[in-house]
């Protein structure tokens, strides 16, 4: 044990060093990455957004970032499956902690998230955000589109999130429609996967409904995503309720008939050609979880997102 250390999240002397914390102990950051607010030399940032005031059903996703970080301790810095590599050997990643939000002034939340996200991505090429309810994706898209232009939205979800709303409304069920109206995403290149509800409008976004996804192979789903986005710079968002409640009970608006965690991960693994400029995992509400089932699924999704990024860096893309 002499060569080992603990609390890697604050004691790490390199952004590319492996952690040696016991899985059951030590300060929890995402995958034991060093906590830092300094972005020099950083390839990717993991950032929490503990907000759930836009939730229409069961609240609690403000505790999602904590739960995802806790579940990520199971990744012990061996080569990560299925990437077969230490994700951090060539990719410097920090955990930048959480966005500070005033719970008494929710009207300030969108601008706060967008401003903080813009500050991060001005210095770092890739931001992985941990929600929080799905409304947080709207200000994240504002920040990313300001840098990259309109993006192809690749959305895994049980809901279209295109319900009509009034200007200034804070609602996790309408952010996609707002993103289209604001020109943040290109609806002709955007796609929603796993949808199991109906909304009045689709804005021309391609939809792979839950029953179709059930019949498709993971390869066919990934091929459809890649063909539809056609190389456009993309933003990847995963609402954990895209999974069936058997695999993600800890969420605010669960809908039966969703993907298995295995199928979702298999699709993500096949998205290496997708030009992902930013991503998030949202809607983990640990109060409704059991044995960290949902948090483990979400942390694995987030790890896959970093794995895809590590492969692009290694390939020089």
Write out the binding residues: 134, 157, 159, 161, 239, 241
Taking the C-alpha atoms of residue 236 and residue 279, their distance in angstroms, rounded to an integer, is 5
Work out the burial of residue 212: count CB atoms within 10 Å of its CB; fewer than 13 is exposed, 13-18 middle, 19 or more buried. middle
Q: 47: helix, coil or strand?
A: strand
- Is the CB of residue 147 less than 8 Å from the CB of residue 184? no
Asked if residues 278 and 154 have their Cβ atoms less than 8 Å apart, the reply is no
222 contacts: CB under 8 Å, gap ≥ 6? 267, 270, 271
Tell me the C-alpha distance between 92 and 291, whole Å: 31
| Beta-strand runs (E) in 28-92 | 44-49
Provide the 3-class DSSP secondary structure of residue 97: strand
Rounded Cα distance, 86 and 88, in Å: 5
Closest CA relative to residue 303, chosen from 95, 56, 72, 66: 72
Helices and strands (H, E) in the chain, number of each type = 9, 8
Q: How many alpha carbons fall within 13 Å on the CB side of residue 145? A: 18
List binding-site positions for Mn(2+). Answer: 134, 157, 159, 161, 239, 241
Kindly compute the dihedral angle of the four CA atoms of residues 16, 18, 21, 23, in this order, to the nearest 10 degrees. Answer: 110
Q: Which two tokens stand for residue 83?
A: 């990437």
């Amino acid at each position: 044990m002499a060569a080992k250390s603990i609390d890697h999240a604050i004691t790490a002397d390199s952004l590319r060093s492996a952690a040696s914390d016991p899985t059951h102990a030590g300060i929890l950051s995402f995958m034991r990455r060093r906590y830092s607010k300094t972005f020099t030399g950083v390839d990717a940032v993991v950032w929490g957004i503990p907000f759930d005031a836009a939730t229409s059903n069961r609240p609690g996703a403000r505790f999602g970032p904590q739960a995802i970080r806790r579940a990520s301790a199971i990744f012990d810095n061996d080569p990560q499956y299925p990437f077969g590599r230490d994700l951090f050997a060539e990719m410097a990643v920090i955990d930048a902690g959480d966005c500070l939000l005033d719970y008494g002034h929710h009207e300030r939340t969108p601008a706060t998230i967008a401003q903080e996200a813009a500050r991060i991505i001005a210095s770092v090429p890739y931001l992985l955000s941990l929600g929080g309810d799905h409304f947080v994706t709207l200000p994240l898209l504002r920040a990313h589109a300001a840098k990259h232009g309109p993006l192809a939205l690749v959305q895994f979800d049980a809901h279209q999130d295109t319900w009509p709303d009034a200007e200034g409304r804070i609602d996790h069920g309408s952010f996609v429609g707002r993103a289209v109206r604001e020109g943040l995403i290109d609806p002709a290149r955007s796609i929603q996967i796993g949808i199991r509800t109906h909304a009045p409008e689709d804005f021309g976004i391609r939809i792979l409904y839950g029953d179709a996804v059930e019949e498709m192979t993971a390869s066919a789903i990934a091929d459809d995503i890649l063909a539809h986005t056609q190389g456009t710079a993309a933003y990847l968002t995963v609402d954990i309720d895209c999974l069936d409640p058997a695999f993600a009970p800890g969420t605010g608006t669960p809908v039966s008939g969703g993907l298995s965690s295995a199928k979702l991960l298999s699709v993500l693994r096949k998205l290496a050609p997708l030009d992902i400029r930013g991503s998030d995992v949202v809607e983990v509400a640990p109060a409704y979880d059991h044995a960290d089932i949902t948090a483990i699924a979400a942390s694995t999704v987030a790890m896959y997102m970093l794995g895809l990024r590590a492969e692009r860096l290694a390939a020089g893309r």
